[in-house]
Amino acid sequence: MSEQSLARVPVSVPRAGYTRVSAQALTGTARAVAAEIFGVDPVLVRAFLRDDAGYLALTIHTPLPLGETSGGAGLPVLDRVRAWRGTIGERFSNLTGSLVSQVDVRVTGVIAADTDRRR
């Protein structure tokens, strides 16, 4: 093929093959999204994925930052976590293209909002 004929091939031509995203990559993405939303170090967050009739169900275990600098300060803990569940599902879906059926959050402890120390 000449250089001119290669230049005419559209970039959007579908190519044979497949793309596979590992469960480890999806889990890491869920951890990162939850850590960002809750404002904690990703090392403190655990994420679990399971199949839910073709959708993904996420389970997040994370400490909850409490203090004046944490998002939603002044709201009851349950209301704050409920609001963030939807945000986790939306961001995860936007990043991965996976459809999320539900997001379960288990608060594993409390940390100060300005540090990553457990209490």
Q: Where are the alpha helices (DSSP H) in the chain?
A: 3-7, 23-38, 77-96
Q: Which amino acid is at 84?
A: W
pLDDT reported for residue 112: 83
CA distance 51 to 108: 23
User: pTM of the predicted model, to two decimals?
Assistant: 0.75
**What is each CA distance from 35 to 54, 60, 62, 92, 107, in whole angstroms?**
25, 10, 8, 12, 12
Q: From its phi and psi, is residue 97 left (phi > 0), alpha (psi between -120 and 50) or beta?
A: left
Q: Give tens-digit pLDDT for 21-71.
A: 889 999 999 999 999 999 999 999 999 999 999 899 999 999 998 765 455
Asked whether residue 86 carries a pLDDT value surpassing 80, the answer given is yes
